[in-house]
Structure 1
Amino acid sequence: MERTRVRRSFEADRISKLPCNVIDNILKFLSLHDAVRTSILSRGWRYKWVTIPFLVFDWDFRLKLDRKYNVESIIYQILFLHKGPIVKFTLFLADSGLCPGLNNWLHFLSDHRVEELTLKCVTHRSISHHLFTFDHLKHLYLVNVELRLPSTFKGFGSLVRLHLSGVQFVPEDLDRFIAKCPMLEYMDLRIPVDHMLSDLVIDAPNLKSFHISGIRGSVYFKNASCLKEMSITSCLTAMDTTSEPGDNNSNMIKVLGQLSSITSLKSNRGFLLYLASGGVPQKLPFNLNHMRVLVLDVAGFEHTSEVRSALCLIRSSPNLQRFEITMNHPLNTPGVDRLEATIQFLKAQQKYEIPLRCLEIVKMFIFSGVKPEMEFVKLLLLSAPVLRKLEINYMHPGVTEKGYKILKELLSLPRASTRAEIIFQDRYDI
């Protein structure tokens, strides 16, 4: 009776009889640790895992591994036993002694048609030239590595997504690297704090989404006509511009003139200051007709140049639907003269048309209620006939007398929209 029960249990094992590609698809949803453990199920399962296309040596893999085993040795064994293509390879490096192994693994992987490669290092590691021979790469994710582009690099012709965080490189190498990846659609660059990247040239005809933080200078879009969404955090210091509006050297015109398809722009104050260099016109000589979302970060309207840049972007985006702005107030109280200059500038703008016929939602964060901010709100309310919601996040927590006064003044401001709702909340309500 017992033998019959065992025989029936084996007959009920339908998974083992599935085609190899189906089993591979099942195994790839397991962690690598669990996939390898299937080898103990039976003799037939001993080497089922060796053809799985995804090899993920992440932090979870390290935690599950018994401490008596050497991580480097285990990785070598798995790679040695593996058969067939390796579509995805992920590696988290926490130990400084793994550098020799890393270069050997990259050499091994270069012949396995890797499409998605992720390397995350706790401290900076130098990467061997073997990385640049991965001809089938579609996704590349690198953290804390040093790249030296070889003169023989022909590019990654299939690369679609690129993420570089804390990666050290020669600035000219980054320009050349991007230009040699013509199929790039998504790019996320997080420049190290101590890396002085002052200028960047983007030559990426298929780029749709671009995010960069830590740059200290210009971004020139040589070829990015398909770009839809962009987020830029610049490390430029705050300085008012002195050039007259309409200057031929206007960064506002030079940068945005190449981005006719942009639908979403997020910018910090450093980039707004960069755009203001060379002078800011009332409006760009062209419309950003596809712009739907604009998110800005300013220094509490301390610098008129930031406000000029913000209003120029708004005026040049006739189909804007959503606008968000965060006021990061300086530690030192701005001088009265500086605030007064911003107030007078904003008041003067009321005589100029701001075509916000599509603007429906406005959100303002760390709002203090100072006069320049109130004038800015007034300008928006007068210019947005279909505005549905103005959401203001007051910088001080709790209910205060000053907060009530600000709210009362906001509610009394004239509005172009009859259905505009003003939501006033403190910083802890969001």
Structure 2
Amino acid sequence: MSINAPKLRSFVFRGDIKLIYLENVHVLSNVLYAPRELVLEDEDDFVSIFSSIPALECFSWDLFEFDNGSTEVIPTRLPSSLNCLKYLFISLTTLGEFFELSFILCSIRSSPNLEEIEIKAVTNEVVHEIPASFLDITFNHLRIFRFYDVLLQEGEMQLIKVLLAKSPALVKMVIKPCQMETNESLNVFMEITKSQRASYKEEVVYLVD
């Protein structure tokens, strides 16, 4: 489905349409996109979601189910950076496979001026390690990072450590793991606090039920 709306400034979608193309939306700055299932047939589908929204400042992905369809790869970076994007929220109920992790990394890596990132992910799968191509960027404007429902597997832990090490303006990081034993929680918290940091002004908040 395509939407052509040159005067559109805010767009909220919740429903069963699997993919929406926004065209001629040069003043659109606020998007909440929550299809019940996102299906990508090829790499261009993912790129097209962003490419026509040059003024995007606030983007919220709220995806119940993510299907890569026939797509074999998500790009490491979008062809054009989302230079206006300040706030990014991603909720992926099915996060777990490398493809879904690539989806998150590409969104972050293509947004050099992000000030706030919030990720909520629920999975029973193993999250693989993040690719080396993600390690060459510094998030000079990132101030707040929130990560909820974390299993603290290798890929997730690497993402936390990379953002600590590459975010000199970071003031607050909130991590909320899934339920885990107290001793394990303490060990993970100690590992995070000992990680290399670009900013020593930030507060690391570790929430345990």
TM over 0.5: yes
SS in 1 for 2:145: strand
* Equivalent in the alignment of 2:195: 413
1:217 maps onto 2:13 in alignment: no
- C-alpha displacement of 1:311: 1.2
How far apart, in 2, do the equivalents of 1:259 and 1:301 lie?
25
Provide closer, same or farther for how the CA distance between residues 310 and 213 of structure 1 changes in structure 2, counting only shifts above 3 A. same
Instruction: Kindly indicate which of the two structures has a greater share of residues assigned to helix.
Output: 1
Match of 1:250 among 44, 67, 73: 44
> Aligned letter for 2:56?
I
CA distance in 1, matches of 2:87, 2:207: 22
Matching residue of 1:354: 137
The alignment's TM-score, normalised by the length of structure 2, stands at: 0.88
Q: 1:417 to 1:379 in 2, by over 3 A?
A: same
Partner-residue secondary structure (3-state), 1:250: helix
What is the DSSP-based 3-state SS (H/G/I as helix, E as strand, rest coil) of the residue aligned with 2:37?
coil
Larger Rg: 1
Q: Is the 8 A contact 2:60 2:90 kept in 1?
A: yes
Distance in 1 between the 2:136 and 2:69 partners?
22
Higher relative contact order (CA 8 A, sep 6+): 2
Deviations 1:277-297 (A, max 9, x none): 463221111111110000001
Residues 250 and 203 of structure 1: is their aligned pair in 2 closer, same or farther, counting only changes over 3 Å?
same
Distance 2:69 2:171 in 1: 30
CA gap 1:261/1:277 in 2 versus in 1, 3 angstroms: farther
Q: Is residue 227–residue 259 contact of structure 1 (8 Å, CA) maintained in 2?
A: yes
Instruction: Report the TM-score, using the length of structure 1 for normalisation.
Output: 0.45
In the TM superposition, residue 271 of structure 1 has moved relative to its aligned partner by 7.6
What amino acid is aligned across from residue 318 of structure 1 in structure 2? P
Please list the CA deviations of residues 358-385 of structure 1 after superposition, one character each: whole Å capped at 9, or x if unmatched.
Answer: 0000011112322221111112112211
CA distance in 2, matches of 1:230, 1:328: 22
In structure 1, how many angstroms separate the alpha carbons of the residues matched to 2:4 and 2:21? 9
Q: What does residue range 92-171 of structure 1 map to in structure 2 within 5 Å?
A: none
Whole-Å separation in 2 of the counterparts to 1:275 and 1:204? 28
Aligned 8 A contact 2:65 2:93 in 1: no
Task: Work out the number of aligned pairs and report it.
Answer: 209
Match of 1:298 among 79, 85, 92: 92
The letter of the residue matching 2:177 is: Y
Flag the 1:274–1:224 CA change in 2: closer, same or farther, 3 A.
Answer: farther
Counting aligned pairs with the same residue, the percent is 22
- Consecutive unaligned residues in structure 2, runs of 5 or more: none
Paired letter, 2:76: Q
Structure 1: how far apart are the matches of 2:208 and 2:4? 44
Which of 83, 89, 98 is the matching residue for 1:289?
Answer: 83
**Structure 1 residues 30-429: aligned runs within 5 Å:** 200-236=1-37, 249-269=43-63, 273=67, 277=71, 279-299=73-93, 301-329=95-123, 333-334=124-125, 339=127, 342-343=128-129, 346=130, 348-349=132-133, 352-396=135-179, 400-427=182-209
